[in-house]
Amino acid sequence: MAAFFQCLKEKGLPMKDTPSGIPVVDDSTADPAAVKEAERACESLVPVTPVTAEQHAEARDFTACMRANGIAEFPDPDPQTARHDMERLDLKGSPEGVAALTACGRGKR
């Protein structure tokens, strides 16, 4: 997974580490179109190995946090990758989205 996240970083996406050490795209500053383009360019680097139970739990906790902070339509994490399909959401473009990302530890501090 490290190669995938390094690729995203090399494509210019802002990255940060979660408390469990999982790098994620900083959604509070990343352009959604750039994220989509970078993910497509780097998808061949996503390993086939499944993510850990801890990573799945963290993704589920993030989903619960986002929903508790006003983003009712926030998607469940993918059961294979623990990633969220946020393509249809414009979290960075709305005050509610930015507030929820910040409250859940993925926004600007």
Q: What is the pLDDT of residues 8-57, one digit of tens each?
A: 999 999 998 888 788 888 878 888 889 889 999 998 898 767 788 999 99
pLDDT classification of 108: cutoffs 50, 70, 90: low
**Residue at 76: amino acid letter:** D
| 8 A C-beta contact, residue 66 and residue 74 | yes
The pLDDT score that the predictor gives to residue 107 is 67
| 8 A C-beta contact, residue 91 and residue 98 | yes
pLDDT at 103 over 70: yes
Q: Which conformational region is residue 71 in: left (phi greater than 0), alpha (psi within -120 to 50 degrees), or beta?
A: beta
Residue matched to tokens 């469990």 = 20
pTM of the model: 0.58
| 8 A C-beta contact, residue 74 and residue 84 | yes
